[in-house]
Structure 1
Amino acid sequence: MYFTHFGLRQAPFSITPDPAFFYGGNTRGDMLAALLYAVAQGEGIVKVTGEVGSGKTMLCRMLERRLPAHVDVLWLVNPSLGPSEVPYAIAAELGLDVSGRRGDQALRQLNDELIARHAAGRQVVLLIEEAQAMPLETLEAVRLLTNLETARHKLLQIVLFGQPELDAHLALPRMRQLAERITHSLFVPALPTAQVGAFLAFRLRAAGHRDGALFTAASTRRIARASRGIIRRVNILADKALLAAYADDAAVVQHRHVRLAERECSFVSSHRAAPGPARRLAAAALGAALVVLSLWWAWPALASLLGGLGLRAFAHPAGLSL
């Protein structure tokens, strides 16, 4: 809608993880390099955690895109799988027909396929998204897949992507064996306020804008504050702010446009909505204090007025009788 108005080829702030919009700042480029190195080494399990919307899926897509041609990528995208279903799901990813086979038979066929690929110079990596939503028994079944190996190499490299709850699961005593198999752990951080402007400019340039300078310093700060540096939230706010600026026929996104965008975002309204019990109590106490102070200063005039009306004044709010 606003592409022509702002000189863009495409939407700059889509939340779809398009590798063309991968931002390598805030250690993300370093994390991608670390993931590529870990997979190339083929050791153990790699874990990547981060808050919802922090950019884990984009990092996952970039990993798949940058892996060497001899690496075969498998996906496990259904976190609700039961432990007995895992070998069948991976076999299906490898193109194997294991229908009608028992679990141990499916696992043996899977192992034979992995050995054949290894002998042919292939490497196989399994990418698992939303790992924090997996039943603990399923995570344990995933760990057992790392037992598929030759004398010197793992036949299946595993990368877990999940929210911080995954770390809590791995900290449980019953998950100790899986936790000890993790050789590399990465955390995707939120963008610091100072980098939100660079992120916005990068996305705008990637979408075709001449220099990426469409957001004022004030609007950038407001986006940073409202989004808390979460990539998905930054994108949503920036997109809605661009729409508001377009409707306003403005050349750049101003502070007021971001304010309008915030009204359309539930994550902003919920953050600022109902205060917690402590804040409500503090507000009530402050209100009561203001009432008492008002009565204190107004009491002489009020007492005089009551006397003029023939009414007896009652006790002063501070306890002094009049």
Structure 2
Amino acid sequence: MYYAHFGLKEPPYKITPNTDVFFTGGKRGAVLDALIYAIRSGEGIIKVVGEVGSGKTMLCRMLQTQLPDSIETVYLANPSMAPDEVLYAVAFELQLKLPKNADKFHVMQILQQYLLDRHAAGKQVVVFVEEAQGMPLATLEELRLLSNLETKHDKLLQIVLFGQPELDSNLNASHIRQLRERITHSFKLQPLDQQEVSEYLMFRLRAAGYFGPPLFTPAAIKLLSRTAEGLVRRVNVLADKALLAAFSDNVYQVRPQHVRSAIADSEFSQQAQQNRWRRWQFALGGLTLCAGLAAGYIGHQWQSGKPISQPVNAPVVAPSSAPVVSKPRAEEVKLTSAAGTAIQSSAAEQPTASAVQDVLEARLQATHTWLDRQIETTVTLQLMGAYRDEDMRDALKTLALKLSPDDLYVVRTRVGGQPFLSLFYGSFDNREEAASALKQLPESVRANQPHMRTVGGITKEIKQLQ
């Protein structure tokens, strides 16, 4: 629904795991590399633990695509199978030909011979178990017995358990300690922090074909990250609904009010609030305990007649003079493209203000008249943006040699709380015409990744800043 509004080619925040958009931040890439190493080393059982929605399934599917062809994978998605079913499930996934009504002993022999043949050919077999926290302990023990299949030097079968934190609790049971001792590598997927959430949001937008400036304001990211508690699936749900709310308001940036609308429409928002309240309760309980201990100590000292503390005579040191903050160098002027990318320019190349002062002012006045005359559905192309008036004057002077100067329009707005100037080009009746004009722009202009905007969205954004 909102894809064309934001210049997207596809949904950016689908919750279905897609290995084409694997996010390596939040140490996910490092965990993936470590898992590949652990599997290739062929020793013991591997365990991966993470909260619901932390990215375990995505990691599992990435492993299946990243492992070399010499490693054959078996994927067990149903953890609630009985102990006697595990052996048959593995044989079925490996497409082993079993005699009709084959008993467990016969199936084990066929499986072992298959694994020996694969080992002789220099290949490995690894079993991925999803939602392992839901697997009965007896079934987990049966998996351990399968891991006993080995040669004199190597394991014939590798096992990787993916589960929620409850898996650790299950493995602490005394009667399953043999399985626990076989775990040679253990990984935990931590929630994303606020900076990582910000990077993730932009990463998914870029993967969906977006080339504009940041869509989520810092305040919106902070609220979204806190509510989602850093869990990727929740981030996807909230981000998708927040974009829909921004689209409904006909704006091109997600603000806190849009995130709040998404939160109100999400099932887990109440649970997140309960979790935060529970943490506050623990914190307050700890503070109360510390205060009680301190009061008891002070009371004891007072009753015993001992001074609580001894005064210390310290010399008074005069404060030193304040440090001098260096001024920014004139040559460090930055110009931003439509995608928000900084482009360095030199102060030596800046024309004098007196020579081009009227260029910017003239286009600002022309833009005011232009906006008044256009209808809300008129489409224009946002070519680029700049934080400094001098940079925008330079851009106008340069673009006037490539495009019609009368079709260039400048709007004062704000990005990330900072004053910002956006440069637009042309007036088009619909997006098809605008798309055609975009393709005909000079290559040097298209390099800044221009994108389509509606006049209605621009005027609404201006009014919100007044």
TM over 0.5: yes
Amino acid at match of 1:150: T
Q: Find the residue that maps to 1:186 and give its secondary structure.
A: strand
1:53 maps onto 2:89 in alignment: no
1:175 maps onto 2:176 in alignment: yes
**Runs of 4+ in structure 1 over 6 Å off:** 273-276
Amino acid at match of 1:16: T
Provide, for residues 143-165 of structure 1, a one-character-per-residue CA deviation record: whole Å limited to 9, x for no partner. Answer: 00111111111111110000000
Normalized against structure 1, the TM-score is what?
Answer: 0.83
Asked if the contact 2:74/2:90 (under 8 Å) is kept, the reply is yes
Asked if the contact 2:150/2:156 (under 8 Å) is kept, the reply is yes
Change (3 A) 1:273 1:48: closer
Provide, for residues 202-228 of structure 1, a one-character-per-residue CA deviation record: whole Å limited to 9, x for no partner. Answer: 111111111561101111111011111
Asked if the contact 1:49/1:188 (under 8 Å) is kept, the reply is yes
User: Which residue of structure 2 lines up, in the alignment, with residue 94 of structure 1?
Assistant: 94
Q: Equivalents in 2 of 1:207, 1:136: separation in Å?
A: 42
1:270 offset after TM fit, Å? 3.9
Q: Equivalents in 2 of 1:138, 1:233: separation in Å?
A: 31
User: Which residue of structure 1 lines up, in the alignment, with residue 63 of structure 2?
Assistant: 63
User: Which residue of structure 2 lines up, in the alignment, with residue 286 of structure 1?
Assistant: none
User: Which residue of structure 1 lines up, in the alignment, with residue 32 of structure 2?
Assistant: 32
Change (3 A) 1:212 1:195: farther
Q: Equivalents in 2 of 1:166, 1:269: separation in Å?
A: 25
Aligned alpha-carbon RMSD (Å): 1.8
Paired residue total: 279
List alignment gaps of at least 5 residues for structure 1.
283-322
Asked if the contact 1:128/1:158 (under 8 Å) is kept, the reply is yes
1:273 offset after TM fit, Å? 7.2
Amino acid at match of 1:109: I
| Structural mapping, 1:189-268, within 5 Å | 189-211=190-212, 213-268=214-269
Q: Equivalents in 1 of 2:58, 2:252: separation in Å?
A: 30
Tell me which protein shows more helix as a share of its residues: 1
Asked if the contact 1:202/1:212 (under 8 Å) is kept, the reply is no
Provide, for residues 85-121 of structure 1, a one-character-per-residue CA deviation record: whole Å limited to 9, x for no partner. Answer: 1110000011113341111111111111111111122
1:82 maps onto 2:86 in alignment: no
Asked if the contact 2:228/2:272 (under 8 Å) is kept, the reply is no
Amino acid at match of 1:75: Y
Asked if the contact 1:76/1:128 (under 8 Å) is kept, the reply is yes
Q: Find the residue that maps to 2:5 and give its secondary structure.
A: helix
User: Which residue of structure 1 lines up, in the alignment, with residue 108 of structure 2?
Assistant: 107
Change (3 A) 1:44 1:216: same
Q: Equivalents in 2 of 1:234, 1:164: separation in Å?
A: 20
Q: Equivalents in 1 of 2:137, 2:64: separation in Å?
A: 26
1:266 offset after TM fit, Å? 1.1
Q: Equivalents in 1 of 2:272, 2:38: separation in Å?
A: 38
Amino acid at match of 2:192: L
Change (3 A) 1:272 1:92: same
- Higher mean displacement: 204-213 or 220-229: 204-213
Change (3 A) 1:273 1:44: closer
Greater C-alpha radius of gyration? 2
Percentage of pairs with the same residue: 51
Provide, for residues 17-44 of structure 1, a one-character-per-residue CA deviation record: whole Å limited to 9, x for no partner. Answer: 1011111111111100000000100101
Q: Equivalents in 2 of 1:183, 1:212: separation in Å?
A: 45
- Higher mean displacement: 150-159 or 95-104: 95-104
User: Which residue of structure 1 lines up, in the alignment, with residue 2 of structure 2?
Assistant: 2
Q: Equivalents in 1 of 2:97, 2:251: separation in Å?
A: 59
1:243 offset after TM fit, Å? 0.6
List alignment gaps of at least 5 residues for structure 2.
285-466
- Higher mean displacement: 211-220 or 7-16: 211-220
Provide, for residues 66-101 of structure 1, a one-character-per-residue CA deviation record: whole Å limited to 9, x for no partner. Answer: 000111111111111111111100000111133411
Q: Find the residue that maps to 2:210 and give its secondary structure.
A: coil
Q: Equivalents in 2 of 1:152, 1:11: separation in Å?
A: 49
